[in-house]
Structure formats: structure tokens, C-alpha cells
Amino acid sequence: MANILIVEDDKDLNNAYTIILNKEGYTVESAFDGQEALDKLTSFKPQLILLDLLMPIMGGLEFLKQFNLKNHPDVKVLIFTNMENSPEVTEAYSLGAHRCIIKSWTAPHNLARVITDALESKPAKPAKDLSQNKA
Amino acid sequence: MEKPHNNNRTRLEEERAQAEALFSSLGDGAIATDQFGKITRINSVALELLGYSASELIGEWFPRRIIALTEKGAPINLIDRPITQAFLTGKPVNEKTFYQTKDGHRLPVSISVSPILLANKPLGAIEVFRDITLEEEIDRMKSEFISLASHQLRTPLSAIKTYSHMLADGYMGDVTAPQKKSLRTIISATNRMNELISTLLNITRIESGTIAITPKILQLDKAAEEVIKDLSLAASEKSIRLTLKKIGQTSTRVKTDNLIVKEVISNLISNAIKYTSDEGTVRVEVRGRARDVIVGVHDNGWGIPASAHDQVFSKFFRATNIVKRETTGTGLGLYLVKGLLDRLGGTIWFESVEGKGTTFYFTLPKAAAKVRLKV
């Protein structure tokens, strides 16, 4: 099973995602801001990063700039935020984010499914057939 | 007794003195020009705001001497300057812009230019302007607050929703059927709270006029595709088939605000999902036409009763058949959508048969909406 890095400053949510993804069989590491995530990435090699945008110390956009997905074609980044339709989300896409999910709309089973879909998809391929997203 | 011509001269001098006093004592900056746009008079507030002395400006050509800048700092073309527009149209022009002061500083100003007309011929123009630095700062702080409030209010809600789901789905051990039912109630209440937060924040923005419109070229079918990606999870929770189709070969490119147009599409699709039974269908169709692009959001849901058709876009309105079935609506979504489309120069209407389904259509013009003259 794949490795997943969760980058989320809210401890309750970080803990919840860890429980959900552990149960799905993934190996999960947690970071609580962008800087801690960069530090973890020196030893932990995830195939997917679940990334919040608004965080203290270093936010998600700054993390994306420093991590630079162009140098890591095998890593997918899923943006997990409550700022839907915001300029920050648009910028995250331009920095190579695979998909954006709205936290407050996403139930655990859907989170697990979106992660499976993302891990199975090829890099930078937008989902053309939208009906495939159905549960 | 004075002679009549002396009387007239005195009155003329009095009027001139009054006009001079009025001009000088205005609390805002004021600049008068002749019919060629040369500065004939400027008051002390204008001189103070711009940092010039009167002798540096009198007799100078206004658009060349006082540089107006865009938000990004580029000089505004002569044709787009409010004073040019006032001369060309013969009508007053109100606008926000930036003036470059003598020391190179960029000053946000709200200006009002009125042409002086005699027998429909311009004799000159008067521009009154004021410094809006403080207002701009308050606007910026308000936008930041709204954005932060939206995020901060939702974070605890996300935790409530996620943990309720985890309990209901058995992540923490088995739950009984009544416990599960209670958890579903908590989840549905958090969903409702989420929607309320989004809608109220957007309505606050539009009603206070703080919604910023940044037009850029975009393809409406692509914008719809992105929205559908975000909403596919909500659709899948009700096993609703959500599809997108571009009809015809005509371009769907429009010059509009990306975020606002997505908010419109998102509201219409969310409504279609909400007011359609499980395993229903929601179809989004985008068609480019000569002068505009039309988007249709079709559902085979519960429909809107004919008696309610004329109230659909009213604030807090909810149709009677919907109130009985679905308690989570706010009655604000379509009011918001209509307000947003008005700002974008678009139109909206619908066709609906109760029990069969509803289609909402909206159009957006291919040219940018002229909400106000270019700043």
C-alpha cells in the first residue's frame, strides 16, 4: 500500500484522517505545517500528500513552491481546504496540485475513494469522464 | 441710482466671486478645464493631494500632466480617462482610479467629472475627486475578514462532520441503528450550517458591493467541468448521475470573473442535486452562441410548482413542495445567483414542471460586462 503524508494544522482533523487512512491500509505520517512537512519528506517518501492551505509557520501554497512538484513527478498532491473557489485553490492547481477537495463536504468513505482514484490515475491527467467519479 | 450695465457687472462679479469661493472651499479636490482639457483652475485640496503648486498645473493639458494609473500601476489610455469620456458622452462620469502624485506615489481616488455644456457644446469640465486610501484599506480588511471567517467557522464544522461520519461508519466500533440515525442528523445539520456560511458570506459581499469582479477570458464548459469535479462527491452521496456536455462547435469563451461564474454554476448544480431524488440525473449543457454563451442545468427532480414561479429569485423564498421534503435550504441560493449574474451582465430563467424536473438557464455575454468604465 502507498505512503501518505497528511499536512493539516487542525489536530482533530489530522488525527481523523490518520485513523481513516490507516484503516484503508495506507502508511501514514502527519505534519502540522508546511515546514514540518518538508522536514518529514527528507526521510518519508509518500506517493500522495494531503495538503491543507491555511496553516501557521508555512501554508500549503508556500510548501508547494518549495517542494516543487516538477521535481517529484511520482507524488500527487490533494488539496484539502474549506476555501472553495478561492484564488488560493487556483494557484494550487497552477503549482501542480492534482485535485482540490472541500473538507466540510467530504465524508470519510469519499476521502478514501478520492485517494484511491488519485493514486491510480496517471500524472496531470484531468478526469474527463465525470461519471467515473460516482461512488 | 446706478445704471443697468453697472448693475449687471456687479451681479456677474458677485456670481464669479461666489463660484470662486465655492470652488476653493470644497472639501474635496477640484479641477476645472477649458474645452480642450487645459487646466484653468485648481483648488488647494487638489494641490495638496497631488503635491503640485498651482503654477505647475494651470494651463497644462490635464490628461498629460495628471497621470491616472490602473490598479497594477500602468498608465490609463487617454480614451479611457473619465475626463475624455465626459467630453465624448456629454454626461457626468463617476469612477475610482489612481492618480500619480508629484513624488510618484499612487493615490487611490474616487472621481466625478461633469462636462460644462452650453447649447450642447462643451465649454469645459469640472472634476471633483477625493482620497479613498482609508476606504480601500477598510475594504481590504473586510474582504480578509470574510475570507478568514469563512475558513475559521468551517474548520470546527469539518471536525464535527468527519467524526460523526467516522462514528456512523463504524470506525470507532459498532453503533446501533438509532445511534446511527442520530449521527446522520448531526451530519445533515453540519451540512446545512456549511451552506449557510457560504451563502451568507457571498450575500454580504454582493449586497455591500465589495464583490470584486476581475474579468478574464475563460471557457465556460471548462469552468463547469471544474465545478462538477468539486461537486461529484455530493452527487455520489445521493447516487445522482452528474454529466457535462458541450453542445455545438461555437466557442464558449467569455470574458468574465472566473470565481463568480463558478459560484453561479456551483449553486445551480447543488440545487439540482439537492432537489432531485436519489439515483436521479443532473445534466449540465454549455452552448456557445454568436454573442453569448448559454448554460443549462437540467434535473429530473421534484420541480417548482407553477404558483411559485414568479417568486423563485426572491430572498428567503422556498417553494411549498420543497419545504415539505427538504429542510436544509436557505432560500438564499437563487437570490444570490441572480445578484451575481446581474453583476456579470448575464441573465437567468428557468422552466419547471412539478414532479418532472427543472432546467435553469443562464447566459453570459461574450464581451465583458460594463459594470463601470475601465479603471
For chain B, say whether A112 makes contact (Cβ under 8 Å): no
Q: Do B252 and B321 fall into the same domain?
A: yes
**How many CA atoms lie within 13 Å of B205's alpha carbon, on the beta-carbon side?**
25
Rounded to an integer, the average pLDDT of B303-317 is 86
Contacts of A19 in chain B (CB under 8 A): 166, 171
Quote the pLDDT of residue B132. Answer: 94
Which tens digit of pLDDT belongs to each residue from B96-153? 899 999 999 999 999 999 999 888 888 899 999 999 999 888 877 877 777 777 777 8
**Residues paired with residue B298 on neighbouring β-strands, in sequence order:** B283, B359
Quote the pLDDT of residue B338. Answer: 92
d(CA B349, CA B55): 58
d(CA B222, CA B335): 25
Q: Do B250 and B265 fall into the same domain?
A: yes
Which tens digit of pLDDT belongs to each residue from B351-362? 999 989 999 999
Low-confidence winner among A59-63, A83-87, B2-6, B267-271 (lowest mean pLDDT): B2-6
What's the total number of domains in chain B? 3
Which tens digit of pLDDT belongs to each residue from B42-73? 999 999 999 999 999 999 999 889 999 988 88
- In terms of Cα–Cα distance, which of B315, B297, B223 is closest to B260? B223
Dig out the grid coordinates for A98 from the structure: 492534482
Q: Do B374 and B333 fall into the same domain?
A: yes
Q: Do B344 and B261 fall into the same domain?
A: yes
Quote the pLDDT of residue A123. Answer: 54
Domain end, chosen from B212, B243, B274, is at B212
For chain A, say whether B188 makes contact (Cβ under 8 Å): no
Quote the pLDDT of residue B20. Answer: 83
Q: Do B178 and B237 fall into the same domain?
A: no
Please name the member of A84, A104, A130 whose beta carbon is closest to the beta carbon of B232: A130
Residues within 8 A of A (CB atoms), B 239-268 only? 239, 241-244, 258-259, 262-263, 266
pLDDT above 70 covers a percentage of chain B that reads 92
Residue A127 to residue B242, Cβ atoms within 8 A: no
Which tens digit of pLDDT belongs to each residue from A46-82? 999 999 998 889 999 999 999 999 999 899 999 998 8
Quote the pLDDT of residue B370. Answer: 47
| pLDDT value at B77 more than 50 | yes
B284/chain A closest Cα distance in angstroms: 11
Domain end, chosen from B98, B114, B131, is at B131
Dig out the grid coordinates for B209 from the structure: 458591493
Q: Do B48 and B78 fall into the same domain?
A: yes
d(CA B138, CA B133): 9
Please name the member of A87, A102, A134 whose beta carbon is closest to the beta carbon of B236: A134
**What is the value of ipTM here, to two decimals?**
0.82
- In terms of Cα–Cα distance, which of B104, B68, B101, B60 is closest to B85? B68
Quote the pLDDT of residue B208. Answer: 66
Which tens digit of pLDDT belongs to each residue from B201-237? 777 777 766 666 778 889 999 999 988 987 887 898 8
Query: First-to-last CA distance in chain A?
Result: 21
Residue A13 to residue B234, Cβ atoms within 8 A: no
- In terms of Cα–Cα distance, which of B319, B363, B325, B328 is closest to B345? B363
Dig out the grid coordinates for A40 from the structure: 518529514
Assign B299 to helix, strand or coil. Answer: strand
Quote the pLDDT of residue A22. Answer: 94
Q: What is the pTM of this model?
A: 0.56
- Helices marked H in A1-135 — which ranges? 11-23, 34-40, 60-67, 87-94, 108-120
| pLDDT value at B323 more than 50 | yes
Rounded to an integer, the average pLDDT of B282-295 is 94
CATH number at residue B305: 3.30.565.10
Region label for B128, one of left (φ > 0), alpha (ψ between -120 and 50) or beta (otherwise): beta
Quote the pLDDT of residue A51. Answer: 96
Q: What is the mean pLDDT of each run of 10 residues along chain A (135 residues)?
A: 94 93 95 96 96 92 94 93 79 91 83 89 48 33
**Residues paired with residue B218 on neighbouring β-strands, in sequence order:** B254
Task: Calculate the alpha carbon distances from B108 to B50, B65, B157, B178 in Å.
Answer: 11, 17, 39, 61
Where do we find the cell 469519499? Answer: A110
Q: Nearest residue of A to residue B184 by CA position?
A: A107
Q: How confident is the model at residue B375 (pLDDT cuts 50, 70, 90)?
A: very low
d(CA B158, CA B155): 5
Domain end, chosen from B131, B162, B192, is at B131
Q: Do B96 and B113 fall into the same domain?
A: yes
Domain that holds residue B56: 4-131
Q: Do B230 and B352 fall into the same domain?
A: yes
DSSP H or E segment with residue B36: none
Looking at residue A78, the DSSP 8-state letter turns out to be: E
Quote the pLDDT of residue B240. Answer: 94
Average pLDDT, chain B: 86
Q: Do B196 and B324 fall into the same domain?
A: no
Contacts of B270 in chain A (CB under 8 A): none
The CATH class for the domain spanning A3-133 reads alpha beta
Task: Calculate the alpha carbon distances from B371 to B81, B139, B263 in Å.
Answer: 16, 18, 18
Q: Do B167 and B282 fall into the same domain?
A: no
Q: Do B201 and B274 fall into the same domain?
A: no
| pLDDT value at B329 more than 80 | no
Q: Do B185 and B288 fall into the same domain?
A: no
